[in-house]
Amino acid sequence: GDSVTQTEGPVTLSEGTSLTVNCSYETKQYPTLFWYVQYPGEGPQLLFKVPKANEKGSSRGFEATYNKEATSFHLQKASVQESDSAVYYCALSEDSGTYQRFGTGTKLQVVP
Amino acid sequence: NAGVIQTPRHKVTGKGQEATLWCEPISGHSAVFWYRQTIVQGLEFLTYFRNQAPIDDSGMPKERFSAQMPNQSHSTLKIQSTQPQDSAVYLCASSALYEQYFGPGTRLTVL
């Protein structure tokens, strides 16, 4: 069946350093890929989505490229801030409007 | 736009009791999804509705769990005879197209 695998956390970084959270997926179909962020006490919020291969999504300084050949969708940010501390989830959806399958989440802590 | 509303935010039940969780989707969204979140299992899909009709309940435990959407403004998730392993945060999301908008969740604790 479908699966999403992402970097295990927690990940601790110093402010101003770069972030990469790896995400790989397995699916029989051609999915739409998502990155979500979740803060304590809240539900996940969509960071961005990318429906097409070889396209890039970005928001708030975060970006990820849909690599269909490598079945990967790694999240990157050049310079993290303390306010980026949260849990990040990679997710996929096979068809428009169906449920999304989430990775296990990566907890990021950014220290001053 | 108030976002997805879930009530209650916290619920504590005794083992064997029933729990009903409520979700009010964003107005105009045609799909409502239920997920369960635990430390061990992460975010798991339970069930979803589109235009109030049940579409996929493949993630729902077959016993004790049921979901309904009697009108476009709310959905309920009912757990009968709750067990300690049902303790989790239950998240509701609504969607117009691909993007899902999540509520804050209901934290269910079964003692």
Report the run of H or E that residue B71 belongs to, with start and end: strand B65-71
- Chain A partners within 8 Å of B93 (Cβ): 43
- pLDDT tens readout for residues A10-57: 999 999 999 999 999 998 878 889 999 999 999 999 999 987 888 999
Beta bridge partners of A111: A14
Compute the residue count for chain A: 112
> Is B105 in the A-facing interface, judged by CB distances under 8 Å?
yes
**Is cis: bond before A40, omega within 30 of 0?**
no
Whether B91 and A89 lie within 8 Å, measured CB to CB: no
- pLDDT tens readout for residues A60-112: 999 999 988 889 999 999 999 999 999 999 999 887 668 889 999 999 999 99
| Phi-psi domain of A83 (left: phi exceeds 0; alpha: psi -120 through 50; beta: other) | alpha
Whether B91 and A43 lie within 8 Å, measured CB to CB: yes
The rounded distance, in Å, linking the Cα atoms of A10 and B91 is: 23
Cα-Cα-Cα-Cα dihedral sign, residues B13, B77, A87, B29:
negative
- pLDDT tens readout for residues B36-45: 999 988 999 9
Q: Two tokens at A43?
A: 């539900």
- pLDDT tens readout for residues A33-44: 999 999 999 999
SS3 B86: helix
